[in-house]
Amino acid sequence: MTDSEPRRHLYKVFVPVAVAFVLLIGILLFSYRTSEIALPLSVRFVHLPEERVIVGKVPALEARVRGYASTLKDLEGSKLSYNVDLVSAEPGKRFIKILTERIEVPQGVSVLAVDPASFVINIDKFAEKLVPVVPDLVNEPAPGYIVSTVGASPSRIRLMGAATILDTISAVRTTPVDLAGLTEPSKRSVALNLNDSSGVQPVEEGLIEINIEIEEKIVERMIQSQVRGTGTNYKYGIRPKKIKLLLKGPEKTLNKLMQDDGIDVRVDLEGLGPGTYLRHAIIEPPLDITLLKAKPEAFMIEIFN
């Protein structure tokens, strides 16, 4: 064995031990190095009397904490909590100051500050109120159709919450009910819209059933039709040649009549010889159309030899 062999052996043993020692020192230094991080802080109200309610929202709170880096690393992504005892709460504004020493944190961690360090809440009396439900209808049915009736079931709902807010509510609307393109009755289940009434909610949870009745739109239209003679082989003349008709019925049917040739209007000339006659026209509108007025009511007929 040469003199260098023991040295090489010693080197092989010493180097790994030295590296391990340096790594251990590094880990220990990191673990015991102090650092600071910000964590969200949630506020929980406890012992609030049943006849009291809190109005409004607590602002987002953030706590600045200091501790060993290894401990703080375990806290990342977590949320701290803070309890506020409201056992003696009375209606009105209440100033809440966050006491850092009352925030629960792991051993070795301290709370430096909270932002904001204080806030104000409103405490109100608890109340209930029965109000009507109003369906929030949006858009229109298909052309030629209208909404005849809309009903909500239940038609009234009992709300609970802050008395001062309930005093301002005379009715509660539903979330939007879309009528676009409807041609027949429909039922929809929707929720209540209480987005603008913080701290108010229904006593019984559940959806509102909306019953929508759809029917054809009834309108009046004045149309003009040609008058023709029937039942004769003679040549004839009719004065005037057209008649004006005031009709009532579904908008779609009347629009179609106006686009076509109108209503068949005729004068019965059967059995009449050459001469001049005054005759009434025969007007037969569709079954769903009502004739309100005709002008003229009689026509001068001239039959030629």
pLDDT digits (tens, 9 = 90+) for 268-281: 999 999 999 999 99
pLDDT at 262: 81
The whole model's pTM is what?
Answer: 0.66
CA pair distance 107, 194, nearest whole angstrom: 44
Q: Tokens at residue 82, please?
A: 């803070």
pLDDT at 121: 93
- Domain limits of the chain? 1-31, 34-116, 126-216, 218-303
Query: Counting Cβ atoms within 10 Å, is residue 100 exposed (0-12), middle (13-18) or buried (19+)?
Result: middle
Residue 67 DSSP code: E
Question: In the CATH scheme, what is the code of domain 218-303?
Answer: 2.170.120.30
Question: In the CATH scheme, what is the code of domain 34-116?
Answer: 2.170.120.30
37-60 pLDDT, tens digit per residue, is 999 999 999 999 999 999 888 999
126-216 maps to CATH 3.40.50.620? no
What residue type is 128 in one-letter code?
E
- Residue spans of the chain under pLDDT 50: 28-29
Residue 93 and residue 118 in contact, taking contact as beta carbons nearer than 8 Å: no
pLDDT at 21: 53
Q: Do domains 126-216 and 218-303 have the same CATH topology?
A: yes
What residue type is 149 in one-letter code?
T
CA 123, 126, 127, 128 torsion-angle sign: positive
- For 147, phi and psi rounded to 5 degrees? -85, 120
13-35 pLDDT, tens digit per residue, is 555 655 555 555 555 445 567 88
What residue type is 68 in one-letter code?
Y
